[in-house]
Amino acid sequence: MPHPPATADPAVSLARVTVAFGAGAARYVAVEAADLSVAPGEFVAIVGPTGCGKSTLLNVVAGLLKPARGRACVQGADVSGVMAPCGYLFQQDALMPWKTARDNVAVALEPKGVARAEAISRAQAWLTKVGLAAFGDRYPHQLSGGQRKRISLAQMLIRDPRILLMDEPFGPLDAQTRALMGDLLLDLWSADRKAVLFVTHDLEEAIALADRVVVMSAGPAARIVAQHTIDLPRPREINEIRLDPKFHTIQRAIWNDLREEVLKTYQAQAGGAA
Amino acid sequence: MSRSTLLAWQVGVAAALLAIWHIGSSVSIFGIYFMPKFFFSTPADVLGRVWKMFATGIVWKHLWITLTETALAFVIGSVTGAGVGFWFARKPKLAAIFDPFLKAANSLPRVVLAPIFMLWFGLGIWSKVALGVTLVFFIVFFNVYQGLRETSPVVLANARMLGMNDRQLMRHVYWPSTLTWVFSSLHASVGFALVGAVVGEYLGAAAGLGYLIHEAEGVFDVTGVFAGMIVLALFVIAIDWAVTSIENRLLVWRPQPHQQS
Ligand SMILES: Nc1ncnc2c1ncn2[C@@H]1O[C@H](COP(=O)(O)OP(=O)(O)OP(=O)(O)O)[C@@H](O)[C@H]1O
Ligand SMILES: [Mg+2]
C-alpha cells in the first residue's frame, strides 16, 4: 500500500535512552540504553513484565520525563517538553473530575481553536463511536473504569494527533469490549495510518493489533530484549486473527522471550519481600 | 432510621430538655429551685421574649448587621485566602519564605486583635469584618494551598498533552480545583466569619446579635441573654442550610459516598 510518509524521519526514535529516578543511594535506573524506532504509520506494541519501565518510556516520548542519557526524537525533532503531534492515553485516570464526559472530550478541541458549539457536537459523535452516547452528562466518578478509559480514548482521538501513545488502554475492559475497541482502533488507524506506541500486558492483543512487538526485560535497568515483526495480513479482525495458525507460531516465539523475563521479575520481587 | 422517626427523636430530645429546664426553674423542692429563675430564666419567658423580638421587629436590624458583617468577612477572607493560596502553590520559593510568618499569624488567638481592630476601624461593622477576615483567610488559604499542591499530576499532565496553554490550564484545571478547595472549606469558613462578627460585636458595638447578648448580660437580664442565644442558633442553622444547598449545587461532580446513584 503506498503511504508516502510526510518526512523520511521516523515518527518516534529513541537512541540509547536511559532513565533514572532519585539520586545517590536511592538512585533507581528504570530503563537502560533503550533503542527504539517507530516509522510513520507503524503500529508498535510494547510488552514486558510489570514494573519494567513501559510507562516510563512513553513518558519520555511524550516529553513528560527527561532521560538521564540518550536522545529522544519525535518526527525528527528532539523532544523538549510536551509536543503537539503526540496524543497520550494514560494508564491512570486522567479525566478532569469536574467536567462531564462530553465536556472532557470537547475541551480537547479548545487548544485547536474550535468553537464550543462545534466542539460539543463533535464530542457527541466521538462518544457514539466509543459506545457511550448516552453517558455524555455523567461525571467521571459516575462511570466505570472501562467507560472512563473509553472517554479518555475519545478525548485523545478527537484531536487527531499524528502519534498515539497508549498505555494499557483496554486494561479494565472485558474480553468482548476489548476486541470491539481493538477493532475500532484498527479501523481508525487504517483510515489515516498514525504511528502508534501501544503498551499492553496482553500478548495476544499485542500480536493481533501491531506490526511489531517489542519485548522489554525485567527491571531494574530494563532493556529492549527482542523485537518481533508481525507479518499477519491486514485488515485484521481481532477475534478472527487469533485463529490463524501463524498467530500461534508468533505467540510461542514471543512468549519464549517473555517468560524468562516475567520469571526474573517474579523471583526478584519474591526475593525482595523475603 | 427513616426521616420521620429521626425527626420524632429530635423533637423528643428538644421537648425533654425544655421540660427539664421548665421543671428545674419553676418547681421548688423543699423551697429550693434546682435551676433558679435569676440564673436560668424559664423556657416560657425566653420563648416569649424571642417571640416579642420578632413581633416588634427590633431583632431584624441586628440580624441584618450581623449578616452583613458575616457575608463581608466571608467574601473578603475567601477571596484573599484563595488568591494567596493559589499564588503560593505556584511559587514554592515564596511559600517557603513566608511559611513561618503565616504559621505564627495563624497561631495567634484572634480575640486579642479585636481591641486593635476597634482602634483602627472604629466601632462600626468594619472592625468586626476585619476580625472575621483574619479567621476565614487562614482556613481558605491552607485549604487551597494544600489542595492545589495535591492536584492530580496525571490530570495536569493529560491537560498539557491536550495542548493547553497556561491560560487554558488555569481555566480548566487550576481554577476548578481551587474552587473545589474553597468550597470544601465553605462550612468552616462561613462559621468562622460568623464567630468573628459575633465576638467583635460582643466586645464593643452598637448593633448586632453579639451586641444584643452583651447588653442583656450588662443588666443581668438572663432571659434576654438566652433569647439572644436562641436567635443566634436559629440564624446559624439558616445559614448552614443555605451553605449546604449551595454546596450541593456547585459540587455535583464530586463523589458522594452516602448518596446512591
Ligand atoms: N517517580 C518515580 N520514582 C521512583 N521510581 C519510579 C518512579 N516512577 C516509576 N518508578 C519505577 O520505575 C520502574 C518502571 O515503572 P513503570 O511505571 O514505567 O512500569 P511499567 O512497565 O509501566 O509497569 P506496569 O506494567 O505495572 O504499568 C518501576 O520499578 C517503578 O517502581
Ligand atoms: Mg505502566
The reply to whether B183 and B219 lie within a common domain is: yes
Mean pLDDT, residues B224-228 taken together: 92
Range(s) of the domain holding residue A128: 95-158
Residue A24: inside a domain, yes or no? yes
Question: Do B68 and B10 have their domain in common?
Answer: no
| Range B100-113 average pLDDT | 88
Could you give the percent of chain B with pLDDT greater than 90?
51
Residue B259 belongs to some domain of the structure: no
Regarding whether B192 and B82 lie in a shared domain, the answer is: yes
The answer on B12 and B139 residing in a single domain is no
- pLDDT exceeds cutoff 70 at A11: yes
What secondary structure, in 3-state letters, does A223-251 show? CEEEEEECCCCCCCCHHHHCCCHHHHHHH
Check CB contact under 8 Å for B253 and A97: yes
Closest listed residue to residue A202, CA positions, set A234, A169, A240, A237: A169
- Per-residue pLDDT tens over the stretch A84-98: 789 999 999 999 999
The closest ligand to the CA of A49 turns out to be: 1
pLDDT higher than 50, residue B261? no
- Report CB contact under 8 Å: A159, B155: no
Tell me which of A117, A142, A158 is where a domain ends.
A158
Q: Both B32 and B46 in a single domain?
A: no
Each residue's pLDDT tens digit, A163-192:
999 999 988 788 888 888 899 899 889 888
Give the pLDDT of residue B260: 42
Structure-model confidence comparison of residues B34 and A104, the more confident one: A104
Residue A271 has a pLDDT of: 65
Is the same domain home to B21 and B119?
Answer: no
pLDDT at B243: 86
Which ligand sits nearest to residue A53's alpha carbon?
1
How does DSSP classify residue A133?
Answer: G
A-chain residue closest to B178, CA distance: A98
- pLDDT interval class at B56 (50, 70, 90): very high
**Residue of B151 and A196 predicted with greater confidence:** A196
Interatomic CA distance for residues A126 and A145, integer angstroms: 18
**DSSP strand pairing (A212-216 vs A224-229):** antiparallel
Whether residue A238 sits in one domain with residue A108: no
Task: Say whether both B10 and B133 belong to one domain.
Answer: no
Shared domain for B149 and B32, answered yes or no, is no
A99·B253 Cβ contact <8 A:
yes
Share the mean pLDDT of chain B. 89
pLDDT tens per residue across span A29-79: 999 989 999 999 999 999 988 888 999 999 999 999 999 999 999 988 888
Distance CA A198, CA A230 (A): 14
Instruction: Give the pLDDT band (50/70/90) at residue B258.
Output: low
Give the DSSP per-residue string, A21-88. ES-GGG-EEEEEEEEEEE-TT-EEEEE--TTSSHHHHHHHHHTSS--SEEEEEETTEE--SS-TTEEE
Distance from CA of B180 to the nearest CA of A (A): 9
Tell me which residue has its CA closest to atom 23 in ligand 1: A51
Report yes or no on B202 lying in a domain: yes
Q: Is the pLDDT assigned to residue A140 strictly greater than 90?
A: yes
Asked if A84 lies within 8 A of B162 by C-beta distance, the reply is no
A193 and A78, same domain (yes or no): yes
Query: How much is the average pLDDT of B29-37?
Result: 83
On whether both B29 and B121 belong to a single domain, the answer is no
Would you say residue A213 has pLDDT above 90? Answer: yes
d(CA A56, ligand 1 centre) in Å: 6
Q: Is residue A166 part of a domain?
A: yes
pLDDT value at position B25?
87
Residue pair A205/A179 in contact by the 8 Å Cβ criterion = no
Question: Given CB atoms, is A94 within the 8 Å cutoff of chain B?
Answer: yes
B165 domain-assigned:
yes
| Model pLDDT, residue B162 | 94
More confident residue, A273 or B129: B129
Structure confidence at residue B256 (pLDDT):
65
- Same domain flag for B7 and B112: no
Mark whether A188 and A263 lie in a shared domain.
Answer: yes
pTM, to two decimals = 0.80
Among B198, B196, B209, residue whose Cα is nearest residue B113:
B196
Q: Facing residues of B221 across strands?
A: none
Indicate which CATH number applies to the domain containing A177.
Answer: 3.40.50.300
Question: What is the three-class DSSP state of B195?
Answer: helix
Position A1 scores a pLDDT of 46
Contact assignment for A94 to B172 by CB distance below 8 Å: no
Higher pLDDT, A257 or B76: B76
Instruction: Determine the structural domain holding residue B14 and report its residue range.
Output: 1-37
Instruction: Give yes or no for A84 touching B (CB within 8 A).
Output: yes
Residue A100 within a domain? yes
Q: Which residue did the predictor score with more confidence, A1 or B99? A: B99
CA–CA distance, B123 with B188 (Å, rounded to integer): 26
- Tell me which of A150-159, B16-25, B242-251 is least confident: B242-251
Structurally, how many domains does chain B consist of? 2
Determine whether B102 is exposed, middle or buried from the number of CB atoms within 10 Å of its CB (0-12, 13-18, 19+): middle
- Give yes or no for residue B125 having a pLDDT over 60: yes
Q: What is the pLDDT of residue A196?
A: 95
ipTM of predicted assembly, 2 dp: 0.87
Confidence band, pLDDT 50/70/90 cuts, at residue B259: very low
> In sequence order, which residues have a C-beta less than 8 Å from that of residue B96 and are 6 or more positions away?
none
If asked whether residues B21 and B118 sit together in one domain, one would say no
Residues framing ligand 1 (Cβ under 6 A): A 21-22, 28, 30, 48, 50-56, 91, 219
Residues B23 and B50 in one domain: no
The C-alpha cell that represents A259 in the structure block:
517468560
The CA angle B221-B227-B230, to the nearest 5 degrees, is 145
Note whether A125 and A181 are same-domain residues: no
* Same domain, residue pair A116 and A169: no
| Same domain flag for A46 and A154 | no
**For residue A274, is pLDDT > 50?**
no
CA of A245 to nearest chain B CA: how many angstroms apart? Answer: 40
Parallel, antiparallel or unpaired: strands B28-29 and B32-33? antiparallel
Q: How many domains does chain A have?
A: 2
Per the model's pLDDT, the better-predicted residue between B260 and A214 turns out to be A214
Q: Are residues A207 and A265 in the same domain?
A: yes
Give the CATH number for residue B60. Answer: 1.10.3720.10
Instruction: Say if CB B203 and CB B114 are below 8 A apart.
Output: yes
* Mean pLDDT of all residues in B226-249: 88
Question: Are A78 and A22 a contacting pair, CB within 8 Å?
Answer: no
Q: Which atom of ligand 1 is nearest to the CA of A220?
A: 29
Joined together, the cell numbers standing for residue A244 give 490463524
Asked whether residue B257 is assigned to any structural domain, the reply reads no
Specify if A6 maps to a domain.
Answer: no
